[in-house]
Amino acid sequence: MSKHEAEKKGLEQTAIDIFVELYNRNHEHPLRFVQQQEKPDALLEDVEQNLVGLEVTHLFYDSEEARLMMSRSELTLPGTEVLDQFIKVINDRVRGKEEKYREYSHEYPCMLLIRNVSLLFGMSDVLGRKKKLMLPRGQFREVWLLSRDFTPDWLLVNLYEIDGGCYHV
């Protein structure tokens, strides 16, 4: 496994761990991590032993910010007008994952987890532009946004229930 692939798998595993912890704190029926895999990235199981897939994607503002997160660059902060571009990045990512979903096993339902690791935009930025978010067309059972909001705590919101509250540590 290449260094890049190992970094990607490590980021995915961390996102899965945070997701399961937050989900279980806020839901009556917990999920359990079964295994990390490909298409989808993880396999989870509920208390009735029903399987559910979890596809994970990491969201950076752009490739320059991604390199910064991997300690490979310096980043200058953009102006506030780029928030709409960030929302477009989210929408493009969701559409791309919907296309990729067609290649998955459909033996069990699948959820999408979007982990926002942007240093520039937090949960409140995204939810403040929620009317510009293009929700998935129902291929994923649930679509979760995992993000910080300029604090150490991770927040979790189901985009299908976007008018509901955020789940947080």
Task: Give the lowest-confidence range in 36-45, 108-117, 131-140, 146-155.
Answer: 131-140
For 30-76, write each residue's pLDDT tens digit. Answer: 999 999 998 899 999 999 999 999 999 998 755 554 444 444 444 44
CA distance linking residue 82 with residue 10, whole number of Å: 29
- C-alpha atoms less than 13 angstroms from C-alpha of 164 in its C-beta half-sphere: 13
Q: What is the pTM of this model?
A: 0.84
Helices and strands (DSSP H and E) totals, the chain: 4, 7
pLDDT of 33 reads 97
Residue type, 155: L
Domain range summary for the chain, segments of one domain joined by + = 10-158
CA distance linking residue 7 with residue 24, whole number of Å: 26
For the beta carbon of residue 69, count every other beta carbon within 10 angstroms.
17
